[in-house]
Amino acid sequence: MLKVIVDLWCIACGASEDTALHTLEVCVAWEPQRRALSAVLGRDLSLPSVVRAMLDSERSWQAAVSFCEEVMTQKETAERAREDDASADPLRHKRMGVRRRRFAHLPLPRNNGVAGR
Ligand SMILES: [Zn+2]
């Protein structure tokens, strides 16, 4: 069974929790990405507002996708660097499973795998 260790704190800014909301609206580390997103979506980056904007226009959808991709790429890079750090806690060394390796190169489906959109 794959055991996933979830960090509760934000490795980007040290805040006590790292949630989607923290990343989208609060974390100082993602200020440049947030500014680019706000330039397209407006100042209200609450989850309902972002979802509404994404469904409203292709441009907003792309802006949100870019934000997510950039943030996730940087978070994954930081996570890998931490895992590669020999002095890191051995519990943080996460082994990539067969399924994840097999599908890692594929882009995520835009419709989240739901047919008929
Ligand atoms: Zn943060």
Instruction: Dump pLDDT digits (tens) for 42-56.
Output: 999 999 999 999 999
Highest average pLDDT, of 23-27, 43-47, 57-61, 84-88, comes from 57-61
| Residues spanned by the domain of 67 | 7-86
Report the separation in Å between the CA atom of 69 and the middle of ligand 1, taken as the mean of its atom positions. 16
Residues of the chain with pLDDT > 70: what percent? 68
Report the separation in Å between the CA atom of 16 and the middle of ligand 1, taken as the mean of its atom positions. 8
More confident residue, 71 or 6: 71
Structural domains counted in the chain: 1
Q: Is the pLDDT of residue 89 over 90?
A: no
| Position 26 in a domain | yes
| Position 96 in a domain | no
Cα–Cα dist 31/29, whole Å: 6
With b for 16 or more beta-carbon neighbours within 10 A and e for fewer, the 66-94 pattern comes to ebbeebeeebeeeeeeeeeeeeeeeeeee
| Position 109 in a domain | no
Report the separation in Å between the CA atom of 51 and the middle of ligand 1, taken as the mean of its atom positions. 21
Q: Average pLDDT, stretch 92-98?
A: 56
The whole-number pLDDT of residue 109 equals 64
| Position 102 in a domain | no
Report the separation in Å between the CA atom of 76 and the middle of ligand 1, taken as the mean of its atom positions. 14
Neighbours of ion ligand 1 (CB under 5 A): 10, 12-13, 15, 27
The whole-number pLDDT of residue 84 equals 86
| Position 97 in a domain | no
| Position 79 in a domain | yes
Global pTM?
Answer: 0.65
| Position 32 in a domain | yes
Q: Average pLDDT, stretch 57-69?
A: 97
Q: Is the pLDDT of residue 83 over 60?
A: yes
